[in-house]
Amino acid sequence: MSTTQTLDARDRGGPAQPLLTVDNLRKYFPVRGGMLNRQIATVQAVDDVSFSVRKGETLGIVGESGCGKSTTARLLMHLIKPDHGDIIFDGDAVGVESGITVNQMRRQMQMVFQDSYSSLNPRMTMTESIAYAPRMHGLSGKAALERAETLLSQVGLNPGHFARRYPHELSGGQRQRVNIARALALEPRLVILDEAVAALDKSVEAQVLNLLSELKSSFNLTYLFISHDLNVVEYMSDRVLVMYLGRVVETGPVEQIYRRPRHPYTRALFASKPTLDPDRRTTEMPLTGDPPNPINPPSGCRFRTRCAFAQAICAEQIPTLALPFEDVADTATPHLVACHRPEAQAAMGGAHHA
């Protein structure tokens, strides 16, 4: 799927250069309180997250609420300023003197948000919203509007019907199509889809997913697909990143992550997925309790408080992402797992849902 990328004039590093590389990204939010509004705690929203997105692939980020997946997306777009970490876009470091500026990066990297209504300006028509960014980046008003109308038809909305409508006149699925068109207006190379289909009804969700696949091949896009929906991530992604409480716990090709999950959390997550088969219902709880509060998370491995395999070492040392203990797979797309315990990685079962 990821090898059919044709040559892009803007390609600088060649096909081997990842489109986006993220190194040791970190964001701690202060929690203020008390009489003098002092800082009383920190939320470790994203802690030492590193990954790369290759040209033409779809990288899925999956995890429960509070795991830092949306914060990661916002840090990448510099909608929130990272505390620490490097973002390298096609070989150029972002926001440093020798690299490219944040604005230059944003021309090539765009984002679609979950809430289709609040991400559109209620006082702008659909074409105005879509044409806004191209105009800001120097296109003439007329050309920008023309591009907006072309994009509207490319996302499956008849410009004659929708060009002059306002957000409240559209359904959720239609609004999300407009948001996608807007994200494509600057002809980006990477699109971050942050829960872009989560708020849609199932029949509409399937339509939008099909649209995303079509656009990916016609615009030569690379996707960063963030979702809590395990089924949708499996359907869309080439590689998957599993996050828990601000850290990456496992990453690898989608088949390996879904067929042979190594981290006990990933396994529990997949086992929690409802079956679609009434004859194979879940009978045991894969996990008890809720994820801990990201304020003062557990020391060492953050999953250890809910993990059946936890031992002393899990509280002492933070596990790093490494190859699994047994049967090392091909090195081109390594399957990496952050877990100290070999027997935890070996334990199978529970994740065989259709």
Partner 1 sequence: MPEGINVKPILGEPVLKAEDLTVRFKRRNTDVAAVNGVSFALRAGETMTILGESGSGKSVSLKALMGLLPPYAQIQGKVWLNGRDMLTMPKAELGKLRGGAISMIFQEPMAALDPVYTIGEQISETIVQHEGISYTDAMKRALGLLEQVKIPSAERRLKNFPHEMSGGMRQRAMIALALACSPSVLLADEPTTALDVTVQIQILLLLRQLQEELGMAIVFVTHDVGAAAEISDRIAVMYAGRFVESGTVREIMKSPKHPYTQGLLSSTVHGGLRGRVLETIPGSPPNLAELPPGCAFAPRCRHVTDGCRSGIIPVITSDSGAMVRCVRATETVTA
**Interacting residues toward partner 1 by CB under 8 A:** 1, 64-65, 171, 173-174, 201-207, 209-210, 213, 228-232, 234-235, 254, 258, 268-269, 272-291, 349-350, 352, 354
Pick 62 or 144: Cβ nearer partner 1:
62
Pick 94 or 200: Cβ nearer partner 1:
200
Cβ pair 324, 334 in contact under 8 A: no
Taking the complex as a whole, the smallest distance from the CB of residue 4 to partner 1 amounts, in Å, to 13
Give the three-state DSSP class for 176.
Answer: helix
Taking the complex as a whole, the smallest distance from the CB of residue 145 to partner 1 amounts, in Å, to 26
Q: How far apart are CA 12 and CA 91, in angstroms?
A: 7
Taking the complex as a whole, the smallest distance from the CB of residue 299 to partner 1 amounts, in Å, to 20
Q: How far apart are CA 145 and CA 52, in angstroms?
A: 35
Pick 190 or 208: Cβ nearer partner 1:
208
Cβ pair 20, 100 in contact under 8 A: no
Pick 7 or 354: Cβ nearer partner 1:
354
Pick 118 or 217: Cβ nearer partner 1:
217
Taking the complex as a whole, the smallest distance from the CB of residue 84 to partner 1 amounts, in Å, to 28
Give the three-state DSSP class for 9.
Answer: coil
In 185-267, the DSSP E strands lie at: 190-194, 222-227, 239-244, 247-253
Q: How far apart are CA 288 and CA 308, in angstroms?
A: 11
Residue 326 is encoded by which pair of tokens? Answer: 């047994």
Q: CA 267 from chain center: how many Å?
A: 20
Taking the complex as a whole, the smallest distance from the CB of residue 238 to partner 1 amounts, in Å, to 10
Taking the complex as a whole, the smallest distance from the CB of residue 245 to partner 1 amounts, in Å, to 12
Mention every residue, 6+ apart, whose C-beta is less than 8 A from residue 151: 130, 181, 182, 184, 185
Pick 150 or 231: Cβ nearer partner 1:
231
Q: How far apart are CA 52 and CA 66, in angstroms?
A: 22
Residue 143 is encoded by which pair of tokens? Answer: 């050309």
